Structures are given as structure tokens and as C-alpha cells.
Structure 1
Amino acid sequence: MASVRRVTSVRRLDSLAAEEPLEIRTGVAGPGRRRPLTVTMRTPGDDLDLAIGFLLTEGLIRSADDVVTAQLCAGAETPNTYNVVDVVLAADVPTPQVDPARNFYTTSSCGVCGKASIDAVRTRSRYDLTTDQLVVPASTLATLPDRLRSAQRGFDRTGGLHAAGLFTAAGKLVVLREDVGRHNAVDKVIGWAVRQRRLPLHGHMLLVSGRASFELTQKAWMAGVPLLAAVSAPSTLAVDLATEAGMTLVGFLRGSTMNVYAGANRVRT
């Protein structure tokens, strides 16, 4: 005779990861109004870092000196919903042109979606990673996921946020950012580094909580990061780009195991 299990239900409050649109507006200093550049779906918080990081990784600015001000804006036409960032660029910075074929609108799941082609996002970095002398013991790399996970306060509450963490060569966490979008978490880290005038990030490692995509590899290259690690798989284009850039790319970094797909000379076993 089959046993019968009693099923019960419980109602309770649950914490969910916030997801809201963020519009980034740019323009040079002066009386002219800033023009909308992009809208991205993100988790509110560290929005100035996100905006500055996006501009840097898209090749629209080169350093903190290219930004006069960056602020959450409000006014008669823009109620202060904290979902618009206004960035005033220095006078000598070319005004970003919105290319309809490129389509800067991004979602939280895939920042590269909507781009016309891979060539449209292959922005060349100003940093030569082949000269970076970073060498990291594999045993140090193996400790990074646990250190990243232990610092993820938002993930503890919601279980729905990606994370990106910047580490020193010794494995010390420098800064961590969380977001519903992997690319946003990386932009927040890089934007923080831009505002702190830490670029290029030579001698540092960037760890992402998901997979290593082409876009995340490009963002790391734009910031001068010599080693990108992910707890999941890389894509073929990510490996190709890391090889081209002279970057070390590590995937499936879990426990004591990892796969090194490019730049194995920086990982000491």
C-alpha cells in the first residue's frame, strides 16, 4: 500500500533582487542638454560607478580626467526616481554618437545582445597586458570563489545577484559589486577603479560569479586586468579575445580545480 504524504503550505515574505532601468545621459560641459546614451536594466546601487564603468569599457572615455561631473539627476522633466545618471564630459572628449545599428539598449542578462556584430564591440584597449608580470599560485586562485561568496551580502538575502570582485595578486578582495546583470557588476567594479584613479589594474585579478563571456573579457581588457577568472565556462570568443589581448583566462574555478584557457604562464602550479 502506497504511503500518503501530507502537503502543507506556508505564506511568508521573501526578499527579491531589485531590477530597474537606468538611463545614462552624456554631453560636454556647457549649456547644452545631455543626450540619452543607453538604458540598462540593473540593481539600484553604485549607479555612478556603473555609468562611469560603462563609458570606460565602451571606449567612450579613457580616464577619470574625461569626466567633469557624474550625478543622479532630477528636474522638472525628470522626477528624482534615481534612475537617470547625468555625465558631463570634458570639452576635449568626443561626444558619444548613438549608432542605431549598435543599439546601446542592454538587458540584465546579456549586455552584448542587440549589437550589430562582434566587430562593433571589439573596442581596442589602450593597455598592453603582455607586459604585466602577474604570477599567481593556483592555490591562491582556488581561494577566490569562497572569498567572493562570503562577501556577497545581496546574494545572501535574495539568491538572485551576480557578483564581480577585484583581487590583489595575494588574493585580497579590493572591491566587490553585485547586480542582476553580470556585465553591470563588472562595470560597477571598473567604474569604482576609474573614480579611484587605479587604472590600469595591472597586478590584479577579476573574478565573476557566472560564465566568462566575450563582453566581460573585453571589459577586463579595457581596464588593464591581466587575469580574468570565472566560476563557470568561458565562450570561444572570450578565449580568442583573451589570447589576443595577452590575458590569462581561467574557467570552472571551483574548489581546488580550474581550467586555464589562455595565458597559463601566469598560473603557478
Structure 2
Amino acid sequence: MGRITARRPVVRIRGPHETTRPDTLVVEEPLEIRVNGSALAVTMRTPGHDIELAHGFLLTEGVIVRREDISVARYCDGVDDDGQNTYNVLDITLAPGVAPPEPGVERNFYTTSSCGVCGKGSLDAVRLKTRHSPAADKTEVKASVLTTMPGTLRESQKAFDSTGGLHAAALFDVDGTMLVSREDVGRHNAVDKVVGWATGESRIPLAGTVLMVSGRASFELAQKAVMAGIPILAAVSAPSSLAVDLAGDSGLTVVGFLRGEDMNLYSHTHRITR
């Protein structure tokens, strides 16, 4: 498998002092996801948990709804200049009877703040595609339990400690127990890896869980939560307006600015008890 971190030289200036030394950086490499041999998407990711990433991506894009919809996931042959396998092409074979992605949906899917789609049409598309809507989920979580989640997530960020350049996402149950956490250079990939883990564990829909993310709550993260049946999305930073609109329409609770004892509740606030 590919490396998570890499060493590069850096010139460090601290006041009047200058030194040259190696620095640890997070690795960012492309992963091409193919379905039944045809290229579907390219995402810039941190290597590791690639099959989870693909499972989560395909589920949150509406291509699959359960682990059994995939027959085989394997790396395709690909070598770098040193003759080493790059592990940067993953081919997914869908199970018999599972419809392939609709023609024309192929796209380069780069994990930047500009990826994804916007507007009323995207809200309608999520409503039509999801089979795991959280709208009927009766989950309630104490505010005092929510406040413990950012710290627990931060403690799990081992690669962040050495690089300072990774996003993180984690799933918690209602008593604050962390079920899984993942890191990636892209916030969307971190969420896909978490959802992919749950897909592999046959835990979809993710009723009774909280998705905690280390950054902001964008529309695409809210979309992924809705598609996976997650009732609560919590973030240490702000949500976007479209994320809140989607959450309101889809039954998703969005918590923002979750820091210390403070938080903002943006939608379906009844799930957070005080």
C-alpha cells in the first residue's frame, strides 16, 4: 500500500534563525475508481482504507445501497518509475443484478471545497436517490455527550500529529463511544472511508449514530450523511446554507461550532437534549 506520510526538505525561519531540515508531509495521490471496468471518478486522497473509500463513495453517490451490491474490489496493475505498484486504480465489480452507474455520470471528483453540485436540483436528487433517510430516526443525544466528541476525535488523529495536514471524521454512538475514525487530506474522503467501513460491517443505514467532522459541514458532507441514514452531523466549524437546507428537508440534525461546552443547532434540534 502507499505511504500516508512523506519526508521533504524545508527551510524553517524562526525570527532571525534559519535552518534546513526534513519535514513530514501528508501524502496526496489520485485514486481512480472504476466500476465494472469503466472509469467513474478520480479523487485526490491519502492512501489507506481505499476500499472503504470506494464503498462509501459508491453508497453516498447512490450506486450501491449495501455491501452485498459489490462482488469484487481489487487494485489494477499500475507501476511507478521504480517499478512499484502505485495502488492508485481500484476496480469495483458490481454484484449480478445491480445496475451500473447511469451513462454520462463519469466525472473527475477532486476533493476540494468546490466539488459537488449546488442548488435546488441537487436537493431533489438526494431525496430521490436515498433509501436510508434519517427523517424517522428517533435518536436523541445529550448535549453533554456531544461536547466530548471533538476531543475524542482529535485524540484519534495520529497522522495529523505528525503532519498537521489532515481532515478527520468519526462515527459515535449516542453514549459517546467512538465506533470508527478515519483521516484523509480531503474531508469528503474521510467521510467516505467512515461510511465505507460501516458498509463493510453491514451497518447501513447508520441509525442512532453521530457523524463528527473536524472541519466545516458542507453540503456534500450533509448529503453523505443523509445517504447513509445518519441522523446527526456535528462539526467543529460552520455549516453552509445549502447543507442546512438539505438537512431541514431530509430530517438531518446539524450541529456546528461544537467547541468546549458551546454549539449551534441548525436543524431538527429536538434530537439534542439538554
Tell me the TM-score normalized by structure 2. 0.88
1:45 to 45, 48, 51: 48
Counterpart-to-counterpart distance in 1, 2:34 and 2:106: 15
Counterpart amino acid of 2:31?
L
Identity %: 51
- Matched with 2:238 is 233
Counterpart amino acid of 1:255?
G
Structure 2, unaligned stretches of length 5 or more? 1-13
Counterparts of 1:186-225 in structure 2, within 5 Å, are 186-225=191-230
Counterpart-to-counterpart distance in 1, 2:255 and 2:249: 15
Does 2:64 align with 1:56?
A: no
Counterpart-to-counterpart distance in 2, 1:195 and 1:110: 27
- Matched with 2:111 is 108
Conserved? CA contact 1:128–1:245, under 8 Å: yes
Counterpart-to-counterpart distance in 2, 1:263 and 1:118: 20
Counterpart-to-counterpart distance in 2, 1:65 and 1:140: 34
Cα deviation digits, residues 25-56 of structure 1 (max 9, x gap): 111xxxxxx11111110001100000111000
Report the alpha carbon displacement of residue 119 of structure 1 after superposing the two structures with TM.
2.1
1:159 to 143, 159, 164: 164
Counterpart-to-counterpart distance in 2, 1:203 and 1:241: 19
Does 2:27 align with 1:18?
A: yes
Cα deviation digits, residues 153-198 of structure 1 (max 9, x gap): 0110100000000001001111001011110000000011001101
Does 2:18 align with 1:9?
A: yes
Counterpart-to-counterpart distance in 2, 1:56 and 1:267: 27
Conserved? CA contact 1:161–1:178, under 8 Å: yes
Say how many residue pairs are matched: 255
Counterpart-to-counterpart distance in 1, 2:212 and 2:100: 32
Does 2:175 align with 1:173?
A: no
Counterparts of 1:56-95 in structure 2, within 5 Å, are 56-74=59-77, 80-95=85-100
Report the alpha carbon displacement of residue 111 of structure 1 after superposing the two structures with TM.
6.5
Counterpart amino acid of 2:229?
G
Conserved? CA contact 2:78–2:88, under 8 Å: no
Which has more strand, going by share of residues? 2
Cα deviation digits, residues 1-40 of structure 1 (max 9, x gap): xxxx97111222111011000000111xxxxxx1111111
Report the alpha carbon displacement of residue 130 of structure 1 after superposing the two structures with TM.
2.4
> Structure 1 residues 69, 6: closer, same or farther in 2, change over 3 A?
closer
Report the alpha carbon displacement of residue 103 of structure 1 after superposing the two structures with TM.
5.6
> Structure 1 residues 116, 127: closer, same or farther in 2, change over 3 A?
closer
2:261 to 233, 247, 256: 256
Does 2:137 align with 1:135?
A: no
Counterpart-to-counterpart distance in 2, 1:108 and 1:237: 18
Tell me the TM-score normalized by structure 1. 0.89
Structure 1, unaligned stretches of length 5 or more? 28-33
Counterpart-to-counterpart distance in 1, 2:144 and 2:236: 15
Report the alpha carbon displacement of residue 110 of structure 1 after superposing the two structures with TM.
3.0
The root-mean-square deviation of aligned C-alpha atoms, in Å, is: 2.1
Counterpart-to-counterpart distance in 2, 1:109 and 1:75: 25
Report the alpha carbon displacement of residue 118 of structure 1 after superposing the two structures with TM.
5.6
> Structure 1 residues 80, 117: closer, same or farther in 2, change over 3 A?
farther
Counterpart amino acid of 2:65?
R
Report the alpha carbon displacement of residue 210 of structure 1 after superposing the two structures with TM.
0.7
> Structure 1 residues 263, 155: closer, same or farther in 2, change over 3 A?
same
- Matched with 2:121 is 119
Report the alpha carbon displacement of residue 139 of structure 1 after superposing the two structures with TM.
0.7
Counterparts of 1:143-154 in structure 2, within 5 Å, are 143-154=148-159
